[in-house]
Amino acid sequence: MTDQTTHFGFREVPTDEKAKLVRSVFDSVAGKYDLMNDLMSLGIHRLWKRIAVQLSYVRHGEKVLDLAGGTGDMTVLFRERVGDKGWVVLSDINAEMLSRGRDRLIDQGVVEGIDYAQIDAEKLPFPDNFFDCVCVAFGLRNVTHKGDALKSMHRALKPGGRVIILEFSEAQGALFKRAYDLYSFKLLPLMGQLIANDADSYRYLAESIRMHPNQEKLKTMMADAGFERCDYFNLTQGVVAIHRGYKV
């Protein structure tokens, strides 16, 4: 890759086209997004998300930014923790996903203490030192300039604030990796075709996971962006990792 190109799955594309390509993926899958998440992970994604929220140490009355929040799973969990005096912003760069998330939360009666914002993670439109926690769950791998996004998150956090990144990562163990590759590149696209009528988007999902920085590389990127006390926690043999860093 060069400064003018980046990866979209295994393809090399012009940098200024990636966001449009990612948007087209999520426009396509938005209607079946929650169903496919449950099927792909056998429901385990709900446990991963609860663990991530626990590791955030978010407390009553705090302000949280849920970046790339999609249909609002993390927002609901954070809203339970911050209580009536807290505030959660559900954000996404994709209007279709954000609209579905807002409608879903309203249907569930989760209304107070939540706002919505269609924003780019690389250019957060918030003041410096504003949030107590910034979380991005299964969204960082789709960002074109991940380092810029991490720096933007760092800027928007208060001193003592935490960033939580829940993302697919590098599976551990040779035998497990082979089984995971078979699942990712054979079964996932098939499920996408049968359930969402879209094999290509789920093929991109598998490819984007392999192109995302592994656990140690992402930890280094967080430190380079200014975060301290960076660490990570592998879940399901590294299929998913939760990274955490602090602004001091």
The answer to whether residues 144 and 15 touch, using CB atoms and an 8 Å cutoff, is: yes
Strands 131-137 and 157-168: parallel
Phi/psi at 213 (nearest 5 deg)? -55, 140
Residues spanned by the domain of 156: 47-171+217-246
Residue 57 maps to a domain: yes
List, in order, residues 6 or more apart from 224 with CB less than 8 Å away: 147, 150
Rounded to 10 deg, the angle between the 95-107 and 18-29 helix axes is 40
Rounded CA-CA distance 231/137 in Å is: 16
Question: Containing H/E element for 204?
Answer: helix 199-211
Residue 24 three-state SS: helix
Phi/psi at 57 (nearest 5 deg)? 60, 25
**Predicted pLDDT at 185:** 94
Residue 16 maps to a domain: no
**Predicted pLDDT at 28:** 84
Length of the chain: 248
Strand extents, DSSP E, 34-119: 63-67, 87-92, 114-118
The answer to whether residues 101 and 92 touch, using CB atoms and an 8 Å cutoff, is: yes
pLDDT in tens, the chain (248 residues): 566 899 889 999 999 899 888 888 888 888 888 888 899 999 999 999 999 999 999 999 999 999 999 899 999 999 999 999 999 999 999 999 999 999 999 999 999 999 999 999 999 999 999 999 999 999 999 999 999 999 999 999 999 999 999 999 999 999 999 999 999 999 999 999 998 889 999 999 999 999 999 999 999 999 999 999 999 999 999 999 999 999 99
**Predicted pLDDT at 2:** 60
What six digits make up the tokens of 163? 């960033």
**Predicted pLDDT at 1:** 57
Rounded CA-CA distance 197/94 in Å is: 20
Which of 14, 6, 29, 3 shows the shortest CA–CA distance to 138?
29
Vertex 4 angle, CA 3 and 7, to 5°? 90
Q: What is the CATH number of the domain that holds 72?
A: 3.40.50.150
Tally of domains within the chain = 1
Q: Concatenate the DSSP letters of all residues of 177-196 into one string.
A: HHHHHHIIIIIHHHHHHHHH
* Residues facing 243 on adjacent strands: 165, 232
Question: Radius of gyration over alpha carbons of the chain, in Å?
Answer: 17
What six digits make up the tokens of 225? 């962006």
Residue 165 maps to a domain: yes
Residue 40 maps to a domain: no
| DSSP for residue 89 | E
Residue 75 maps to a domain: yes
Residue 195 maps to a domain: no
Give the burial string for 226-239 (b: 16+ CB within 10 Å, else e).
ebeebebeebbebb
